[in-house]
Amino acid sequence: ELAASISSDVTALCVLGRGSGGEECDRRIKEDYYLTESEKQMIGRITDHFANVVLILNINGFIDLSWTLSYPSVKAIVYLGTAGEQGAAALADILTGKVSPSGKLAATMALSYEDYPSSPYFFTNKDKPESILTYDDYHLSPEANGSFGFEKSPVALYQEGIYVGYRYFDTFHKPILYPFGYGLSYAAFDLEFLCSDIQEDGLTLALQVINTSREFSGKEVIQIYVSAPEENLEKPYQELLNYRKTKCLAPGEKEQITIPLPFSELTSYDEESASYLIEAGDYYIRLGNSSRHTKIIGKITVPATIITARYKNRMSIRPENKNKLRFLKKKTVSSYTYSGENEEKANAPCLYKLCQENIPVRTLKEYQVNTSETAVPSALPDVKKGSTNLEDFIAQLSIEELAVLVNGYGPGLPFGGMGGKYPNTISYADGEDIAVSTHPSGSVGYVSPALRKYGIPSVFYKDGPAGVNMTAWPTGMSMACTFNKELLYEFGHACGTEAEELQVDSWLAPAVNIQRNPIGGRNFEYYSEDPRHTGYCGTAITRGAMDNNKITTCPKHFALNEQETYRRGSLKKHYDALDSIIEERAAREIYLKPFEMIVRSTNVSTIMTSFNKINGIFAAQNKDLCIGILREEWGYQGMVVTDWGDMDIVVNGANAVASGNDIIMPGGPPVIQQILIGYKEGRCSLSDLKKAAYNFLNFVIKSGSFERFTKETEIL
């Protein structure tokens, strides 16, 4: 029992925890995002008895904190997140002052759930079927959107468009609790812009940071934002361009750092011309340490609109929906401002005048995989040695063997325990299994089929975004708050090393979807509400994992997997898979951006598609997404694998392969039969199967499993 009165020099620690959410399960609003009744009672008792309370948030997703405004005794809030096996020790160091905190929020904390612009369009309660938003709620036809005969056809309308997170709150001048990029330190810092230097593809900013504290050492995160002009396209008030974290600065210590600003990051997508543009006008560059604490340090002037890429529209709203949906537009709204902003704009020095001749124009590169009709009897090691090419090697495989090869190895039930025995593959006419597993540690459902007669070994895929189950690392949502690319690189490298010890070939991470809504069930795996920050995190982790390791990461879920509830429908309830309805510009600038950053900046070899539909088409069946954008625009050379769809309403295997999805996981005999039927019906061609096999075997040849397999077979 609490004492009746406590001395004012005693500080109470109040811990709130959350473990809700997960795969197929979003969080709840009542007694999850908002406090439970027992939590309210506990907080009331603590604040009644203690004048100084530190609130510690051991949570895997944001909760409402507006109530803290009514409790003056809550003097500090520590966002611990889900901090992994060293989290408790780190917390002790911070609470005792041994270490200054240096984290920053990677998402905006609003005053209420209803303040998030996605809140009216995000449903999560499976226990209340009437709460599920469907085509009918938006006066759309299920049949016209490709949904036939289901009791319910769930819809996630991305009505807020490009205005996600701080882009919404700043543009529409909404009051908030804590801004994006915000976080306190025991130390204090001054930020100073020194100069800029022109590089081949952008500017480099030189900045100085000084620790003005007399007592505490600490680190600061320098954040660079841009406010873009509006000619024909709407723009948010500001967007994060880049950031960098300082070293630990002693009191009075200075550090000079540089931050690159590629010109390509100034672009916006124009659906009318199917182009990326840098519109004419002044681009104000901002320096600060949160989205609500910046100052203008200069501008980039663009005399005439610049085209940076000419593509095709590939993610457009279906024509039958266009006049029935209304997406958020700012029109004449007054954005957030601060005292002196207009003077800063008037006095901003021109850092560079950017013209079309400074920018190369990207165009589509046709996706080509050579196939061959010349069957050369050979084994995969012969391809590695150069005695035959991969195309001729693949030409010797039968339709059945190709159908097996583009699937996982297993019964299609990787999450186990369905009862009974299920076959892992199909057989030749003589009863011999076409495939086996050769991986010593990979579990059925997470390995690829080995075709021994052709020297093709199994490769091993392993979850998940917080590591490979050797070290208990912090979750992505927590790590993103470090704003430390070097640290994320080291995390990736450590996970890559652990993955190699487990003989993993593809680590199913990072998860680079967007924290669109605070009750998203997988937000703890995702990094941020901001696409660039998410992309920087994913890129650093991928580089770290792949450097000097024989593994690849597998960025997921491609794309628009921001809602878990019914993302793959329900076979039992006869609900269709969730349809994410979105404008093309928002899809490209917000939700595809992190994937693009990783693909363009690394040699990643695997990417995982998502379960959900996008504008009426399964992501894994979306040729415009899997080939048009991923390969022809971004130049991706690796393989595409589905999410692990063992049940419910998921993509047909034949349709997926025909659309550029190379591997169906976990696959198994039912999906193999889908592909064989699709081949007979003409939905999946021999060329489609050969292309998928080519992309997959290219990955296999570079894998650690192939290297070990060939060494073992040579010894035998």
Is 643 considered catalytic here? Answer: yes
Query: Closest Cα to residue 698, out of 599, 595, 605?
Result: 605
Query: Closest Cα to residue 514, out of 19, 165, 109, 161?
Result: 165
Question: H-type helices in 386-459, by residue range?
Answer: 390-395, 399-405
Give the count of beta carbons closer than 10 Å to the beta carbon of residue 85: 10
Residues shown for the chain: 716
Query: Closest Cα to residue 578, out of 288, 157, 193, 217?
Result: 157
- Give 241-284 as a 3 state SS string: EEEEECCCECCCCEEEEEEEEEHHHHCEEECCCCEEEECCEEEE
At 316, is the secondary structure helix, strand, or coil? coil
At 115, is the secondary structure helix, strand, or coil? helix
Query: Active site residue: 64, 170, 576, 643, which one?
Result: 643
**End-to-end CA separation in angstroms for the chain:** 71
Please state, in angstroms and rounded to a whole number, the distance separating the CA atoms of residues 250 and 100.
11
211 residue type, one letter: N
Number of helices and strands (H, E) in the chain?
Answer: 18, 24
Dihedral over Cα of 686, 688, 692, 694: its sign: positive
What is the H or E stretch that residue 603 is in? none
Q: Are 646 and 382 in contact (CB under 8 A)?
A: no
Q: Which residue has 């999410």 as its token pair? A: 643
Residues whose CB falls within 8 Å of the CB of residue 324, separated by 6 or more in sequence, listed in order: 138, 139, 140
524 residue type, one letter: F
Residues whose CB falls within 8 Å of the CB of residue 266, separated by 6 or more in sequence, listed in order: 226, 228, 278, 283, 300, 302, 354
Please state, in angstroms and rounded to a whole number, the distance separating the CA atoms of residues 80 and 84.
10
User: What are the E-state strand segments in 271-354?
Assistant: 275-278, 281-290, 293-302, 306-310, 350-353
φ/ψ of residue 447, rounded to 5 = -125, 160
At 229, is the secondary structure helix, strand, or coil? coil
What is the H or E stretch that residue 2 is in? none
Active-site residues, by number, are 643
